[in-house]
Amino acid sequence: MALGSRSLQCAQNHVRGRSERGGGRPFVASTVAPRGRRSSVQCSAILGQLFKGASGAAAGAGVAAAAQPELEPEFQAWLRGQGIITQPLVLRQCGREGRGLVADRPLGRGEALLQLPDSLLLTPQRAAEESCLAPLLRQLSPAGASTSAAGAAALPLPEWSLLALYLAELRGRAAAGDRGSRWAAYVDMLPQRPGTVLDWPAKETRQLLRGSPLLRLADSIAAAAAASWEELAPLIARGRAEGLVPAHVSLSKADLDWAFGVLLSRCIRLPGRDQLQVLAPWADLLNHDVNAETGAAAAGAAGSGATGSGASGSGGCHLDWEPTARGGAGALVLRTDRAYAAGQQVYVSYGPKSSGELLLSYGFCPPPAANPHQDYKLLVGVNDSAAADPLAALKAEVLAKHGLPPSLEFPLKLEGLPAGLLNYLAFVEAAPQVPQELHDLGSLLFEEGVFPLLDGADTLAAALKSLGNRCTAALKAYPTTMEVDQALAAGAAAAVVNRSPRGPRGRASPTAATATGAAAAAAAAAAATATAGGDGLVTLGTEDVSVSVLREAAVAGIRVRERQILQRTQASAIAQLAEVKRAARSRRR
């Protein structure tokens, strides 16, 4: 029976399933931008979504740090000169994680740390005002608006582009020995290579990420950076022609690429200030913990009084702007989710990100098997080719009516299917004999969360079959086998064990032993098994993944986990499909 106005009641009697949340719009998925060239604002948004946000709770025991000489003395002297005098946190070298902030005394749960004033935040407004191109930027500002006005609408360029432009200028000044900017000590402290995917050779990036949904993320990051450069290059050229850019400041594409990488790995979004994107000296030295948003510690700190809700909507240890801090003047504050002993590293969360997202955007890779946020982002969408799907345009229209885009990424995990996936699949796969029935189907799937019969066919069964087929295709897309990837990932532990961390900003320490290739990794395999406990659960830091062979091993470990997620999802879809068919046979009897 066709699903139409006469059969709505009948359809209700043939419901085969209900979404995990019942009615409403049970969707937890990320929107994929439509094909075609993105605007600079859209590209900035792509990169802005990757920034450290108001972070969740910090869990884990932390890393005990022995007494060490003061790191970055000039930077810390600058901080003291900016009024950051009494801090219960000290900068220490924390193993493979690199530098981190360590408790200088016992800290209580919910304690307010950092207390950075607005004057110490490098905001887009401040970047526009202090840039050598400020006269041109003022001309680009909306009529009647000043660069110091609140809100992104008053800015001449996207926040991302303004910060990158000024960072690149500061880097050029520092390279020429120009110490005139008050941010010079901060820029000196930044790494020479941020370690993000923007530092990877383009050919290697495509080879490493082939078959993985991470390739889409890498492409979007690269495209956003390229669009920002295209937007800024004419402005820089005009500034040179008008004598605004000092001769010793290069403002080259290499400088901008470096700035984009710094922003990817260090920029912070502040929910307490309308998602303002800022660079926060000192606060950006806090390291990430993959377990920071899980467990009792996160829930226990939810009522600590912080203003932000966290990147995942949970309470706990996070960075955000608190208007009542510093006697009502407001400040960037870190709220601890638990007690810390003196000498333990204090963590925040950069958000519920997979190890692949952390690798591409921040330049380090926690072991995927130990990351509770590890997922496989399955792209589902309407086939925009009229030849492949004559109903494509109508489907996109119906989806838009329900507030949904024509394509979505759904995060598959080992624990189960994401809400709304089967509903979306059922709609995308539908091919009704009467096209207008798509409107009724959309209402049932997306508003009521039920799976009706369509032309006598079970829409839930169609969705499950499609999911199984998509998992099969995804598994075949990887260029390597599971066994090869497992061996590569295990070899990473070997190479890391015999590779000493480097010094600040990527300079090799005098005793550093650097892995130089696959041979070094293979030679250390036996040592790794003993040192890493044989489980391969080794976090690869920024200096580790700057080595090509270790970067390859990191991606291999991610592919292993992605395959495991796909295999479990595939098995679940097959089992559920068999149950749906058994139930249908029982009803026919």
pLDDT of residue 495: 64
> How far is Cα 306 from Cα 320, in angstroms, rounded to an integer?
8
Contact between 311 and 350 (Cβ < 8 Å)? yes
53 pLDDT higher than 50: no
pLDDT of residue 384: 79
What is the token pair recorded at 449?
């969360």
168 pLDDT higher than 50: yes
pLDDT of residue 133: 97
> How far is Cα 349 from Cα 357, in angstroms, rounded to an integer?
13
> How far is Cα 487 from Cα 181, in angstroms, rounded to an integer?
49
pLDDT of residue 65: 45
506 pLDDT higher than 60: no
The CATH architecture that domain 75-139+154-296+314-348 belongs to is: Alpha-Beta Complex (3.90)
CATH 3.40.50.300 correct for 365-500+535-588: no
pLDDT of residue 367: 92
pLDDT of residue 303: 36
For 234-261, give one letter per residue: b (16+ CB within 10 A) or e.
ebbeebeeeebbbeebbbeeebbbbbbb
What percent helix, strand, coil does the chain show, rounded to 5? Answer: 45, 10, 40
**Whole-prediction pTM value?**
0.82
Closest-CA residue to 245 (of 166, 192, 155)? 166
Contact between 335 and 110 (Cβ < 8 Å)? yes
pLDDT of residue 64: 44
Domain limits, CATH 3.90.1420.10, in the chain: 365-500+535-588
Write down the mean pLDDT value for the chain.
80
pLDDT of residue 339: 85
Residue type, 71: L
Closest-CA residue to 566 (of 487, 483, 463, 467)? 467
Q: What is the pLDDT of residues 92-145, one digit of tens each?
A: 998 888 899 999 999 998 889 999 999 999 999 999 999 999 999 999 987 655
What is the token pair recorded at 506?
């990527």
Contact between 57 and 316 (Cβ < 8 Å)? yes
519 pLDDT higher than 80: no
What is the token pair recorded at 277?
């994107």
Contact between 311 and 270 (Cβ < 8 Å)? no
Q: pLDDT band at 282, cuts 50/70/90?
A: very high
Q: What is the pLDDT of residues 553-580, one digit of tens each?
A: 999 999 999 999 999 999 999 999 999 9
Instruction: Give the whole-number percent of the chain exceeding pLDDT 70.
Output: 74
Render 296-321 in DSSP notation, one character per residue.
HHHHHTTTS--S---TTS--SS-EEE
For 533-554, give one letter per residue: b (16+ CB within 10 A) or e.
eeebebbbbbbbbbbbbbbbbb
Q: Where is average pLDDT lowest: 91-100, 256-265, 269-278, 449-458?
A: 91-100
Q: pLDDT band at 589, cuts 50/70/90?
A: confident
Which residues pair with residue 458 across a beta bridge? Answer: 453
Q: pLDDT band at 300, cuts 50/70/90?
A: very low
71 pLDDT higher than 90: no
496 pLDDT higher than 90: no
Contact between 50 and 269 (Cβ < 8 Å)? no
Domain limits, CATH 3.90.1410.10, in the chain: 75-139+154-296+314-348
Residues in the chain: 589
260 pLDDT higher than 90: yes
